[in-house]
Amino acid sequence: MAIVVNLDLLLVKRKMKLTELASRVDITLANLSVLKQNKARAIRFSTLDALCRELGCQPGDLLEYQREALEAHEDVAAASDNDRASDTEPGEG
């Protein structure tokens, strides 16, 4: 995905721990961790609002579009598909 979550950078700049942010915005630590690791597939506007409020930032500070990230993801997916195709025996689907 080409959208990158810069939560880790904002936490460092604010000298804040993930656990502190989780309690301030009333979001589970697990869900914030998913965001921080760029594994989230979606974010609610109410969550984005709470994060921006507590971090004193704009949505664009938290979320960033990176074309390179999308291209790298596509390259990895294509390589994975090629590996799977070469793992099949002749005559297999």
Nearest to 40 by CA among 21, 18, 63: 63
Residue 29, in any domain of the structure: yes
Structure confidence at residue 83 (pLDDT): 59
pLDDT tens for each residue of the chain, 93 residues long: 689 999 999 999 999 999 999 999 999 999 999 999 999 999 999 999 999 999 999 999 999 999 876 566 556 556 656 655 555 555 554
Residue-level pLDDT at 31: 95
CB 5 within 8 A of CB 62: yes
Range of the domain at 24: 3-86
- Number of domains the chain is built from: 1
CA-CA-CA-CA torsion sign (42, 45, 50, 53): positive
**Amino acid 49: pLDDT:** 97
Whether residue 91 lies inside any domain: the answer is no
The amino acid at 13: K
Per-residue pLDDT at 54: 96
Question: What's the predicted TM-score (pTM) here?
Answer: 0.71
